[in-house]
Amino acid sequence: MLALLIVWLSLRVIRMRWAKKVRLGDGGDSELQAAIRAQGNAAEYVPLSLVLLALLELGGAHMALLHAGGLSVLVGRLLHARGLLTETLHYRKLGMQITIFALIGLALANLVYAVLGGLGMIPPHA
For 13-40, the pLDDT digits (tens) are 999 999 989 988 888 888 999 999 999 9
Q: Is residue 19 part of a domain?
A: yes
CATH of the domain at 42: 1.20.120.550
Prediction pTM value: 0.85
CA atoms of 41 and 47, how far apart (whole Å): 11
Does residue 39 belong to any structural domain of this protein? Answer: yes
Residue 47 forms part of a structural domain: yes
23 part of a folded domain = yes
Cβ atoms of 83 and 95 closer than 8 Å: yes
Q: What is the pLDDT along the chain (126 residues), one digit of tens a residue?
A: 999 999 999 999 999 999 989 988 888 888 999 999 999 999 999 999 999 999 999 988 999 999 999 999 999 999 999 999 998 999 999 999 999 999 999 999 999 988 887 666 776 654
The count of domains in the chain is 1
Give a yes or no: residue 126 inside a domain.
no
Query: How far apart are the C-alpha atoms of 9 and 7, rounded to whole Å?
Result: 5
Q: In the chain, what are the helix, strand and coil shares in percent, each to the nearest 5?
A: 80, 0, 20
- Segments forming the whole domain that contains residue 30: 2-118
Is residue 123 domain-resident?
Answer: no
Cβ atoms of residues 41 and 99 within 8 Å: no
